[in-house]
């Protein structure tokens, strides 16, 4: 089923250990390619597109499996990681910082990330990761403004 393929990011979500972290890592080279070839606006738009697709696919998958936020639904990590990378310089250091910040916010669920997860269905599955990506992007932009990245 297409919803399963999309929500698990084509099977990445079935990783035995830390599927969210694996999905974030898999998202990085794709983000690098989009940023390098098409620029930050394209990466941001791709993130938003994946977000909307994920709302639908994760909602379908969660209803079918009976889960609230199934761990194998990792398209949310892809969308959030891409959002964080959209303001990141095209460098190993920049992408490493984007990865660490995004994973920190996604795992810790600090407010306002935790507020996004209270939404119902696919909206809740996807929105907390987008908030984590947005918080990461704000910090990365501040680091860039200070000349630290």
Distances (CA, A) of 147 to 89, 133, 143, 144: 11, 21, 6, 5
**pTM (2 decimals)?**
0.94
Across the range 12-32, mean pLDDT stands at: 97
Q: What is the pLDDT of residues 75-88, one digit of tens each?
A: 999 999 999 999 99
Domain locations along the chain: 2-9+19-145
Distance of alpha carbon 102 from alpha carbon 56, whole angstroms: 23
Q: What is the pLDDT of residues 24-77, one digit of tens each?
A: 999 999 999 999 999 999 999 999 999 999 999 999 999 999 888 889 999 999
Omega before residue 112 within 30° of 0, cis: yes
Residue 127 has pLDDT above 90, yes or no: yes
């Amino acid at each position: 089923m297409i919803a399963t393929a999309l929500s698990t990011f084509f099977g990445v979500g079935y990783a035995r250990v830390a599927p969210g972290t694996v999905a974030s890592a898999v998202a990085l080279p794709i983000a690098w390619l989009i940023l390098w070839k098409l620029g930050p606006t394209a990466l941001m738009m791709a993130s938003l597109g994946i977000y909307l697709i994920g709302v639908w696919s994760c909602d379908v998958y969660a209803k079918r499996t009976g889960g609230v936020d199934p761990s194998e639904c990792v398209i949310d990590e892809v969308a959030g990681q891409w959002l964080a990378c959209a303001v990141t310089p095209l460098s190993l250091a920049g992408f490493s910082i984007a990865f660490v910040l995004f994973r920190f916010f996604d795992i810790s669920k600090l407010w306002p990330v935790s507020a996004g997860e209270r939404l119902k269905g696919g909206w809740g599955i996807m929105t907390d990761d987008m908030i984590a990506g947005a918080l990461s992007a704000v910090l990365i932009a501040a680091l860039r403004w200070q000349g630290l990245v």
